[in-house]
């Protein structure tokens, strides 16, 4: 006889009746198809679960935008000059603001992943899930989730530094050659090294970002569905995405996850660009003639246009989160035989 469930555990426990869906190992195309079907069938609850996070992310980006407009750096770029110490302090404050907005937005994104996964995985397993339970689970696991998120940031920073070494070295050597007064030939070589190093540095930063998004795409699902500590959740999210589950190149789990992350990213970037066209057009119409990089668009027009973009993202972002939750469930089936375990529980 299966062990009776404690109060509040029904959503996570695999010891429930078999779902109506076909719980089995899925091909890549089946993961995308099942996620898209689920997103269409559960459009309203997924929108409700994501709208608040998208609004909070928009508020953070708006704070950054207003900070940039009032920054002394903008005044200096418009020919206003300014004290060197004041400009240095402005750069420092701007870097802190940008870093805070980036980290806060990323934290909200992974927290949204947790909330959506708490709805998607049990629903695909045939359980009934209330939206309030998803939010309660996120609040209950907030400390664990934040700890795992900070661990992921440390891992990501280490990867960023490692991938930035080649480009950084070339830029440094190039700068030394340009600074030497030995002749024009060394200056040309130095400028060439700086250009090549800058390209490598940019590629390294992009590679580190993509690796980070790939490596921790299941972190929210793990924290949502498993009662483990921050450290164990951090390691668990990596273990699920390591090794091989099938023969061939696409049988490697990192390759499978990379393909899914790429497909999701292309869709979301296209939607973001399309929904952001009204705000972009306004900024182009109201750009400052003296400084084209600065827009004078009134906030009364700009904010509604930006909220349109937020709405579009809230509509389509859950599709990507459903893909990650479905990948998590597929890894549980492939690595741990979750489908066989549920059949045995149903038969007992």
Asked if residue 299 is part of any domain, the answer here is yes
Res. 197 pLDDT band, cuts 50 70 90: confident
DSSP-derived letter for residue 78 is I
Asked whether the predicted pLDDT for residue 326 surpasses 90, the reply is yes
The contacts found for 230-236 with CB under 8 angstroms, 24 or more apart, are 230/143, 230/144, 230/145, 230/146, 230/147, 230/148, 230/150, 230/151, 231/147, 231/148, 231/151, 233/144, 233/145, 233/148, 234/148, 234/151, 234/152, 234/155
Asked if residue 22 is part of any domain, the answer here is no
Asked if residue 4 is part of any domain, the answer here is no
Asked if residue 21 is part of any domain, the answer here is no
Asked if residue 126 is part of any domain, the answer here is yes
Q: What is the pLDDT of residues 225-270, one digit of tens each?
A: 999 999 999 999 989 988 888 887 878 888 888 888 888 888 888 8
Residue 26 contacts residue 330 (beta carbons within 8 Å): yes
Residue 297 contacts residue 282 (beta carbons within 8 Å): yes
Asked if residue 16 is part of any domain, the answer here is no
Number of domains in the chain: 1
Q: What is the pLDDT of residues 54-107, one digit of tens each?
A: 999 999 888 877 777 655 555 555 555 555 666 667 667 777 778 888 888 899
The alpha carbon of residue 217 and the mean position of all alpha carbons in its chain are separated, in whole angstroms, by 8
Two tokens, residue 137: 């689970």
Asked if residue 220 is part of any domain, the answer here is yes
Mean pLDDT of 128-146: 92
Q: What is the pLDDT of residues 11-28, one digit of tens each?
A: 443 333 444 457 788 888
Confidence (pLDDT) at 11: 40
Asked if residue 145 is part of any domain, the answer here is yes
Q: CA nearest 136: which of 40, 224, 67, 198?
A: 224
DSSP-derived letter for residue 244 is B
Asked whether the predicted pLDDT for residue 120 surpasses 60, the reply is yes
Is the whole-model pTM more than 0.75?
yes
Domain span at 72 = 28-340
């Amino acid at each position: 006889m299966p062990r009776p469930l404690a109060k509040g555990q029904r959503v996570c426990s695999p010891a429930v009746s078999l779902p109506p869906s076909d719980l089995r190992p899925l091909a890549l195309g089946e993961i995308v198809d099942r996620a898209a079907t689920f997103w269409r069938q559960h459009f309203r609850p997924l929108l409700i679960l994501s709208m608040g996070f998208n609004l909070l992310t928009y508020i953070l980006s708006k704070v950054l935008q207003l900070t940039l407009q009032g920054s002394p750096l903008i005044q200096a770029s418009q020919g206003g000059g300014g004290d060197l110490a004041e400009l240095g302090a402005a750069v420092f404050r701007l870097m802190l603001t940008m870093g805070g907005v980036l980290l806060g937005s990323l934290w909200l994104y992974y927290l949204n992943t947790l909330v959506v996964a708490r709805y998607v995985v049990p629903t695909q397993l045939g359980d009934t899930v209330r939206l309030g339970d998803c939010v309660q689970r996120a609040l209950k696991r907030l400390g664990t989730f934040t700890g795992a998120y900070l661990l992921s940031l440390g891992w990501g920073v280490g990867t960023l530094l490692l991938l930035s070494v080649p480009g950084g070295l070339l830029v440094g050597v190039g700068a030394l050659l340009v600074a030497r007064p030995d002749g024009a030939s060394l200056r040309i070589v130095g400028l060439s090294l700086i250009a090549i190093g800058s390209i490598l540095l940019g590629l390294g930063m992009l590679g580190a970002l993509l690796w980070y998004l790939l490596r921790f795409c299941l972190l929210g699902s793990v924290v949502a569905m498993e009662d483990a500590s921050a450290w164990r959740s951090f390691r668990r999210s990596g273990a699920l995405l390591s090794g091989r589950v099938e023969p061939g190149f696409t049988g490697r789990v990192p390759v499978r996850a990379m393909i899914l992350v790429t497909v999701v990213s292309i869709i979301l970037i296209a939607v973001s660009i399309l929904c952001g066209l009204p705000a972009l057009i306004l900024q182009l119409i109201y750009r400052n003639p003296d400084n084209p990089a600065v827009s004078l668009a009134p906030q009364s027009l700009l904010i509604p246009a930006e909220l349109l973009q937020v709405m579009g993202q809230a509509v389509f972002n859950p599709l990507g989160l459903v893909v990650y939750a479905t990948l998590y469930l597929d890894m549980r089936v492939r690595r741990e035989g979750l489908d066989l375990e549920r059949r045995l529980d149903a038969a007992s």
